Each structure stands twice: as structure tokens, then as C-alpha cells.
Amino acid sequence: MINFNYETNFSLENEALISSWITKTILSEEHQLEEINYVFCDDTYLHKLNVEFLNHDTLTDVISFDYSVGKIIQGDIYISVERVADNAKDFKVPFSEELHRVMIHGVLHYCGYKDKTEADAQLMRAMENHYLKVLV
């Protein structure tokens, strides 16, 4: 089950389509979906979580809490809509593309992909691009 929660004046278009896309991504990665809660918020809300839970006093676009066990995916993904909008401008991409990238990025982490090394980051970006094409 995928849940979409809103802590700011924003709402996703096509929740059913996005939910189906995420579910299919998880299945194609040979994992099983238990539950993912997306929480869309603003910079202030996400900054507070970043300081409280990660001891990072910085703004960020996404924080994910992974409760997965083995190949059963479960977690909470918090996304700052403000940060995504700023990043979309910086990267010169549509807001929806950047939002979908951030959304699938968290899911790919749950499926075992990492991004700390250059090689891992390149693979993560390739997988994001692959699944973004599937959505379109």
C-alpha cells in the first residue's frame, strides 16, 4: 500500500498512476511492497526532521526512513516540495520530473541501491532514468 500525505499546500496529480508506477518498480526489482508513506512538506518541516533525526542542520529535498525487512519494502519518505521546485530550476527540468526522480530515488534505496560512491551514484542515476522513462 502506498499512502500520500500532505503537510503543505500541495497535492499530487494522478495518485493512482504514481502508486501503480512505484508498485511496478518494486516488483520489477524483485521486492514486495508492504507500505510506503510519502509525506509532502515544506523546507521548515523537513529541516526539523533533518536536525532531530539525522543531526544535519541543512536543507534537503528528501529524507527516507527504511523499515524494510529483507525484500519486503516498508518506509516513510518525506519530500520538501520547496526544495524539489528549487532543484528543478537549478537542473533546468520540469518540476514533475524532479519530483518523480526524488520519489523513485527513495524506493530504489529501499531496494538496495546506494549512492555514496561515484560508481554507486552512477548506477542509481541510471536506474532513476530507467524508471522515469517507464512512467512516461
String of b and e for 10-27 (b: at least 16 CB within 10 Å)? eebeeeeebbebbbebbe
Cell of 131: 524508471
109 belongs to an annotated ligand binding site: yes
Q: Give the closest residue to 63 by CA, choosing from 85, 86, 38.
A: 38
105 belongs to an annotated ligand binding site: yes
Residue 44 parent element (H or E): helix 43-54
Beta strands 72-80; 62-66: pairing state? antiparallel
Reduced to 3 states, what is the DSSP secondary structure of residue 58? Answer: coil
- Binding site residue list for Zn(2+): 105, 109, 115
| Residues making up the binding site | 105, 109, 115
